[in-house]
Structure 1
Amino acid sequence: MNKYTIHSDDHSSVLHDSLILEHYGLNELNFESVKSYREKFAAVKPNHPWNGLETKEFLYKIGAWGKLRNSSKEGVTLAGLLMFSEERIITEVLPQYFLEYRESSSDIVTSVWTKRFTSQDGTWSGNVYDFYFKVMAHFTNVDSTLSPALHEALINALVHADYSGEGGIVIEKEQDVFRFSNPGLFRIPIDHAFSGGMSNLRNPNLFKMFILIGLCKRAGSGLKHIEITWKQHQWKQPEFLQHTNPERTILTLTIQSSKYLFPDETAASYETVHVDDMQQHENDDMNEPMFEQVVNSVNKDLYSVNKNRHSVNNHKNSVNKGVDSVNNDVKSVNKDPDFISDMMDSVNKDSNFINNPSNSVNNKNDRSSEMASFVESGQIHEELWNIAELARKKKRLHPSVMEQIILQLCAKKPLMLKELATLLARTPDGLRNNYLAKLLDEGKIQLKYPNQPNHPRQAYITKK
């Protein structure tokens, strides 16, 4: 039996994601996952000295590789294995390890799922890093105000999970429900987690790796952010279930359309349900991720990361070579590259009226009607379309070129996020995370309502 194998009843080993797996080397890692991570790290921190390090030293810096003091022994850490290895190798150490995403088009409980993938299906690496981006790719069609909350819920399920526990991590998406389920209980009281500012991580090195590519920050206020989002929309308050046998935490987020809004008092707070009469364990807090700095990758190549089974050792030099900009990594979720041009062919430029509003990005009625409404309202001027023409024609632009186009557009008039997304043929989340957040930080653009960041008519303006 593998001496590193961690069973669900071996609680002494659960907390140590820094555990060094002496006989697990670079060959046990998935090259494509490591390469992708390094590219995202370089995109978020382009001038960071770690970008020039060899693979092993880079992994050591981020906590994925460990060295035993006073000896020559070294190896992949448990966190590094979870983040970058492959399912078959991970389960040698963590037999209970399992990741699953499943999606249904209705809220009726059924065994038939319209979309489903697991860490065991063999079509991808099965590691935590790739799982995050695969799941977020399925969340791209949700409301932009909801995406940060879903991102936080997913990150927290991953970094607070007890990977030696039973049942694995299961993410479910139904018509009006998102459910995040992971083994393990909260490690601080829930009321403390809601108040924010307190952290007690189960997998600190795993969390650190997400921090370093801008996906979260150590703030301890993730639950509070989700609570505020749900109150603002007056949706049914989220429900937390904590099962104690086996130990498991389930977060259920229910979305209601406008005609089913709950009264204000029903959104007053989260409902926490403790299952069983057993003594409640200390609870995990959820740390607010820095969603505004997310490198939003919906790269479809992620789904085939296992196709290149090259070892990291054989390719470690290539990891350190020129890192493309993140815009080169992000593939548009729009399957038709000329979707915006095709739409403009039917636009009457004298009246700014679009003749075929059903010709949308993803053939989704809600998206097409939004675009049609946007064009019909007269807010899109011919000059704006001309400025943004290059971005619409080319899926991949150098970040500096895209930034200049955004600055020119916002210099003409204040533009809302969805307006920019339509003009540039990009997703709202991709624009916000890859460009707008950076331009705001650099002081090149400003919010139209700086004191009301969640204003329904919030827009971006180029600073003079």
Structure 2
Amino acid sequence: MQSIAEILEYLNSTDECTTIEAKRGTAIDMSVMETICAFANEPGLGGGIIVLGVTRDESSLFPSYTIEGIDNPDKLQLDLASQTATLFNQPVRPEIEVEMLPNKKIVVKIQINELPDGQKPLYFKKNGLPQGAYRRIGSSDQRCTEDDLFVFYNKEDSLDSTIVNDTSIEDISEEAISLYRTLRAKVNEYAEELNYSDKDLLRSLGCIKQDKGDWKLTYTGLLVFGNRMALRRLLPMVRVDYIRVPGNEWVEDPENRFTTIDMRGPLIQLVQRVFSAIADDLPKGFLLGEGEIQASNIGLPSKVLREALVNAFIHRTYRENQPIQIIRYGNRLEIKNPGFSLKPEEQLGEPGSKNRNPFIASIFHETNLAETKGSGIRTMRTLMEKSSLAPPTFESDHSANLFTTRLLLHHFLNETDLQWLDTLKEYELNESQKKCLIFLREAGAIDNPTYRQLNACDILRASNELRALRDKDLIVQKGKGRATYYIAGPALNTKVEELNTEPLALNTEPLALNTEPQSLIQELPSVLRDKIQVLGSRENDSSKIENIIYELCQFKSYSVKQVAVILNRKENYVYRNYINPMREAGRLQYTIPDMPNHPEQAYKSI
């Protein structure tokens, strides 16, 4: 096990840490146990280390961990051994080391090993699956979902092979079947399945199954080949929303509304329809036809756009009855699909894939609508680089169950960029930092994962180079921990102003939220005020507290901190026990869905 000096050095060098968790360690509470569960479950992580007696200075701009020490190491060890042996569905045997430092302060190091695949998932017995299991996502412990169980068990019987009740072969679109045959013949005109009848073809593709003597559609059959009437009847929210937003920022302005095109239909037809709608809408000169892509060409390669769309269709979760959103800003495309990535973000683009929907994916691969398995993202990066465009960036948000692909419609390091960067010569920036500032100029903000994707580097290098930009006042840090992101700093905006251009986007301080107890409570309706007053500080009925929070956020949108102040409870307690579970259960939603970790994030009732 690493020494405490080595652990502190690593913590203070990175903005987030997947394999090390530092805690004050006054007691073995649920936070410690959730981290143990997450370390034991996370595939490929190899486990992790929990350090008790170390605290983070929250006032420091960059990570600053110090040793506070603990007073009761023997009691902590006994409590830990007892809880790890009884709380989970199977005993966990952590390795515990007590280290006394020269200043007589004591720290406890807990090594948690990853469980073998056959023993996963570890979960809290009282909560069951999936809610009682946790995964280690970045530097946080995330409650598991049904999709996580697919990762643990690697089930062959996936959702897309499940029968959909109230369906029949009559719900199949003949046009979609005909299109499949045409596309498949272009790939392999001698493919055996082309000689099958429509019914046998659907059976071979896993699109229909027999149930009590009747043929019914599976989710694959309904989604890929179902007619529009069946799709609207059975999956009304599984569609694509193409949203055009004026400018480069999401602003809900009732006087300047964005425009939306809603598209639905069998996936095999929908891909081309969505592709055409976006391609026709891109500025003239940005799109080239298939087969015309060369390194010297300008514009977003059509193959990149198609692959990004196909990835959204075949990797999204269909357990969530939500649309795919494609947002067209002035300078970029953002494709948001329900379902976090089953592969860790740092492995995106590496060979091999993990599919939620293997039957749907197989159909797309066999018709050449998708790249060879596991190579789609790598192909997108290569083509964007050849076209002198910024690499695509990806964000997998486990807590929001959302995956975002961003494509900048901007020629990277072109003549204009080089002229702009020439004004920053005095800062002696390397190529990675230059890419960072160009991306920040276009997107308005950047975070550590995006920096790593842009420059194909590890977390330590990204943290050090971002720290250097911050020390030069070129960027400013916002948020904390995993929610950290960066916007343009004073030095960078000074350069922009010297060039007589507008200051960079998002260079604003978060709005000051009202957190005065009396003023927050006084603005509430009298009936709600009375309920809160009766509630008291020792109320243990969680359903009563949930209902009050629901009524609060129905009256007005509130931040976690404001809710905690109104209820006279700790902020972390309110978020962990009420706000996050209520959002996951569909009772609350973000007011800023595009950035879940936004410092001005608030919640409203659904």
TM-score, normalised on structure 1? 0.49
Where relative contact order (Cα < 8 A, 6+ residues apart) is larger, the structure is 1
